[in-house]
Chains A and B, each alone.
Chain A
Amino acid sequence: EVVLTQSPATLSLSPGERATLSCGASQSVSSNFLAWYQQRPGLPPRLLIYDASSRATGIPDRFRGSGSGTDFTLTISRLEPEDFAVYYCQQYGSSPWTFGQGTKVEIK
């Protein structure tokens, strides 16, 4: 199975700053089938990005996905208070679909 490794585990930033989250795959993700999710405490994950760089419906343009092959990045251009949460990447290029272990973006 494809193992996804997210870094860093925790990112401490202030509102208005830029966040850069990484997701590395143990093998190339087929067709760049990679998604990003945001999870706030007590809530289900929310789809942000699919196919590595396509924003889901209703997602603000401060969220940007990029990358290909084994290296993917989620960039949040200017952090809003509601963006402090845990972020997961997920690959759906080869079964079983797998998730990274998450990156927590916390208020500095």
Chain B
Amino acid sequence: QVQLQESGPGLVKPSETLSLICTVSGGPISSYYWSWIRQPPGKGLEWIGYIYYSGSTSYNPSLKSRVIISVDKSKNQFSLKLNSVTAADTAVYYCARDGYNFYFDYWGQGTLVTVSS
């Protein structure tokens, strides 16, 4: 059974960089696409971007200028960096596995990141 777990700081100051790691267990990171998705408190879901195990990426244009997603196959992890954060970036951040056609079949439990000074 594939499991995903997000980790990283729960509080980030405005203008700084949000950094999260997703650790994948129960299966290899190879041969799949892996995404980050976020959900502001009480609101809906927003896809941030994905990475393929080979390292190729695709980002949501709304965040593209501020996002980097990378992968570390040796650790079965992928990571998210979002720079120049503001209060609008406060959200629960989820990592997820993209199924065969980019629906999300496995999700992490999510981690709340608050942007505040």
Contact = CB atoms under 8 A, between A and B. Distances in A.
Contacts of A97: 35, 47, 102
Contacts of A45: 45, 94, 104, 107
B107 A44 contact: yes
Interface string B87-117: 0000000101001011111011110000000
A92 B35 CA distance: 13
A88 B4 CA distance: 21
A50 B101 contact: yes
A92 B101 contact: yes
B62 interface: yes
Nearest to B63: A96
B83 to A, nearest CB: 19
Interface size class of A (residues with CB under 8 A): 20 to 34
B44 A92 contact: no
Contact of A96 (B61, B99, B103): B61
Interface of B: 35, 44-47, 58, 60-62, 94, 96, 99, 101-105, 107-110
B98 to A, nearest CB: 8
A47 B94 contact: no
Interface in A11-41: 31, 33, 35, 37
B107 A100 contact: no
B110 A44 contact: yes
B45 A88 contact: yes
14 contacts: A1-B61, A37-B104, A43-B109, A44-B107, A44-B110, A47-B105, A50-B99, A51-B103, A88-B45, A90-B104, A96-B60, A96-B62, A99-B44, A99-B47
Contacts of A37: 104
